[in-house]
């Protein structure tokens, strides 16, 4: 199935469709222009940021928006924090256990429109073989075209508690507290192209 031809955006056609909601169809995540980043507390007062470099999936857009579906796959071994030694530790059984659980997935279960271009995605995140519900606050950023190929842009934020997924590694600090926080904040910047777009365009 490919995205509907013509305009990449549509006027609001119902009270349950975010402003400027795009044309119905299946849109493929563009891995070159999509990022999944995370931040976590470090040494009580600081924060560390990381990202995943390999993200794939699709967003099936419907109107009304409630029927839309998001499916995302992330390569756990693609984690990057800017420090090679730390990245190796993040891939280890202490954290992502990437060898045993190579894929992190998120599949939406519901989409709830909000004000303007905002909407909420309810879904299930699977990490280290554990599946938990995770809600994302999302926003439709608009549509454009590149070389005649339409594209859509979205953003989303959310958070998880890492212990909920069996990631319990930590270290007590001499001055008190723990080296690593529990809450992981997530930020997604996503671009999508019509399903079936040739890879040389992607």
Question: 154-174 b/e with 16+ CB inside 10 Å = b?
Answer: bebebbbebeebebeeeeeee
pLDDT in tens, 172-183: 766 655 468 888
Q: Which two tokens stand for residue 38?
A: 């995370």
DSSP states along 15-64: TTS-TTPBPSEEEEE-GGG-EEEEEEEETTTEEEEEEES-EEEEEEE-SS
The candidate with the shortest Cα–Cα distance to 72, out of 27, 33, 104, is: 104
pTM: 0.85
Strand locations in the chain (E): 25-29, 35-42, 46-52, 55-61, 69-75, 79-80, 103-113, 118-127, 130-146, 149-161, 180-194
Task: For residue range 126-165, list pLDDT tens digits in order.
Answer: 999 999 999 999 999 998 887 778 889 999 999 999 999 9
Hey, where are the domains in the chain?
A: 25-194
Per-residue pLDDT tens, the chain, 202 aa: give them.
333 333 344 333 345 677 778 888 999 999 999 999 999 876 544 578 999 989 999 999 988 889 999 999 999 999 999 989 989 999 999 999 999 999 999 999 999 999 999 999 999 999 999 999 999 999 999 988 877 788 899 999 999 999 999 998 877 766 655 468 888 999 999 999 988 877 655 5
* Tokens coding 17: 């469709």
CATH architecture label of 25-194: Beta Barrel (2.40)
Residue recorded with tokens 């904040």: 185
User: Mean pLDDT of all residues in the chain?
Assistant: 85
Using CA atoms, how far apart are residues 3 and 26, in angstroms rounded to an integer?
5
73 touches 56 (CB < 8 A): yes
HSE-CB for 137 with a 13 A CA cutoff: 8
CA distance 76 to 62: 30
In the prediction, which pLDDT does 169 show?
A: 84
């Amino acid at each position: 199935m490919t995205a509907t031809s013509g305009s990449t955006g549509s006027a609001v056609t119902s009270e349950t469709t975010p402003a400027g909601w795009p044309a119905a169809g299946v849109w493929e995540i563009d891995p070159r222009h999509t990022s999944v980043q995370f931040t976590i507390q470090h040494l009580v007062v600081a924060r560390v940021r990381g990202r995943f470099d390999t993200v794939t999936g699709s967003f099936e857009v419907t109107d009304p928006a409630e029927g839309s579906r998001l499916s995302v796959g992330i390569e756990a071994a693609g984690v990057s924090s800017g420090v090679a030694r730390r990245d190796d530790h993040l891939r280890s059984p202490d954290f992502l256990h990437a060898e045993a659980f190579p894929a992190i997935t998120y599949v939406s279960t519901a989409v709830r429109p909000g004000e303007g271009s905002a909407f909420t995605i309810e879904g299930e995140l699977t990490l280290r073989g554990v599946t938990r519900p995770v809600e994302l606050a999302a926003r439709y950023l608009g549509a454009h075209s590149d070389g005649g190929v339409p594209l859509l842009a979205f953003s989303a934020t959310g958070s998880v508690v890492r212990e909920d997924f069996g990631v319990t590694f930590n270290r007590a600090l001499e001055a008190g507290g723990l080296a690593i926080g529990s809450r992981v904040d997530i930020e997604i910047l996503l671009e999508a192209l019509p399903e079936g777009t040739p890879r040389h365009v992607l």
